[in-house]
Amino acid sequence: MADFPDWHGTTIVAVRKGGTVVIAGDGQVTMGQTVMKPNARKVRRLGPSNAVIGGFAGATADAFTLFERLEAKLERFPGQLTRAAVELAKDWRTDRYLRRLEAMMIVADKDVTLVLTGTGDVLEPQGGMAAIGSGGNFALAAARALADSEHDAETIARRAMAIAAELCVYTNDQLTVESISGAAGEPK
């Protein structure tokens, strides 16, 4: 069997500040040294009332499978993002099919931001900021550096993504941004 180059795709950042939570993601999908798609949409609204936003990093088909599963959990546990995420993480870790999925997710509602992984982790990030993907560390560092500025959550997320795009070859500046206003403030 031939070795195919790895697919790389994405940087996602979440910022919670001033009553708004924002998730922003770039649009680049790369295979090896080739940009396969510059404008993929990796951030979207979820749940029966679109009260949850989410972004993914990793294999696209895997992420869509996980989004569908999370939406089913949100229908089962309306208004309970943490409960739905924990239930998804349990399935993801124990189901033979789901265990093979290669993706990470950041999801948020008006009250909580969570990072979900295939190892069963459901993590609430410190300070209401999180980032995943190839440029995630750059975006998170930039967002944290801007956290105490006068900028709002969306501006911080956009600037953090711009910095990540300058530093990470697998990240571009074609963003998808979703937000929820009326969100809880930054966690202590």
Ordered by start, the domain boundaries in the chain are 7-176
Q: Classify the C-alpha dihedral 56-59-65-66 as positive or negative.
A: negative
Mean pLDDT of the chain: 88
The residues, any chain, with a CB within 8 Å of residue 62's CB and separated by 6 or more, are: 101, 102, 103
pLDDT digits (tens, 9 = 90+) for 4-42: 455 556 899 999 999 999 999 999 988 878 888 899 899
Say how far apart CA 8 and CA 143 lie, in whole Å. Answer: 22
pLDDT digits (tens, 9 = 90+) for 45-75: 998 889 999 999 877 777 788 888 899 999 9
Give the DSSP H/E element, type plus range, for residue 157.
helix 153-167
| Full 3-state SS string of 15-81 | EEECCEEEEEECCCEEECCEEEECCCCCEEEECCCCCEEEEEEECHHHHHHHHHHHHHHHHHCCCCH
* 11 belongs to the catalytic site: no
pLDDT value for 2? 46
pLDDT digits (tens, 9 = 90+) for 90-123: 887 776 656 566 678 999 999 999 999 877 789 9
Catalytic-labelled residue, pool 10, 11, 113, 171: 10
Say how far apart CA 86 and CA 157 lie, in whole Å. Answer: 26
Q: What's the N-to-C CA distance of the chain in angstroms?
A: 51
Residue pointed to by tokens 């940087």: 11
Whether this model's pTM surpasses 0.75: yes
- 7-176 maps to which CATH number? 3.60.20.10
